[in-house]
Amino acid sequence: MGLDEKENNNGDDEAETTTAQQSAKKRKRKEVAIFGNYRNYYGYRVGQELEEDPRLKVLKKEWFEGKDCLDIGCNNGTITITIAKKFGCRSILGVDIDGDRIEDAHWNLRKTVKMSTRAVQSKPTKLEDSERMNGVQHHVTEVQSGETSNGKDLSHLVTFQKGNFVKDWRPPEDRFYHTIICLSVAKWIHLNWGDDGLIILFAKIWKLLEPGGILILEPQPWNSYYKNRLVSEMAQTNYHNIKIYPEAFQEVLLDKIGFRMVENISSRLSGSKSGFDRPILAFWK
């Protein structure tokens, strides 16, 4: 074998090694989010061009105002905090399997409260106006903390908790909820724990809801399962064994789990980024 051939073979070997390393790095990056626990999820889902998540526009205030609420798969808490602030929940708990995302959520809550806290110069009275004219100055400052639309302190009603909802999570103090949201989470539970895990998810939600309570569900389409089927060996195995497809979720929730009615609220949804145009369903217990 000539020198040129050896150099070419060495070059091929190096190229294959580089390709393998790149593939390994890609797999490693995917493995970090095997539960859909992307660190910058809301960054690429909502983007900088939108003021808020478009999904908030289809949610009704009466589903949350003065209610105890639960957010399953809360990620960094962006939706959880915004719902509390915009709709005035009595309480809202965000649960996520990833402790790092829960740390992010706590950080976002502290940041929101801090940014919302502002010094407001109180409106002077007639007496104070008169005294000011005479050179007497009053500096009265009112401090307002981060509050919800009904004036409640966000830091008192928003909480976050690490937990595996399907496997072993239990609500604090055996609490029940008026509204539970589960947005773009079902696929990850389905891929990691199969049909059994999905049924556990739905049944557990039903048990945790107060009579008349509402589940807000955003299921991912089946083609997105295909895109994520290789994030882990377990996901790949479960993908091939799934029998309950997303289009059957509504039937399962109504006929098997026991929800009494459903409304597709995504008809009012607009402004979603490409790839995130998904149905949003409201189920009543």
* Blockwise average pLDDT, block size 10, the chain, 285 residues: 44 44 49 72 50 87 98 96 96 97 96 71 48 40 45 87 96 93 97 98 98 98 95 97 98 98 81 63 98
What pLDDT does residue 243 have?
98
Does CATH number 3.40.50.720 belong to domain 56-115+150-284?
A: no
Give the chain's radius of gyration (CA, Å).
25
Predicted structure pTM score: 0.76
The residue behind tokens 């004036």 is 151
What pLDDT does residue 33 have?
80
What pLDDT does residue 151 have?
57
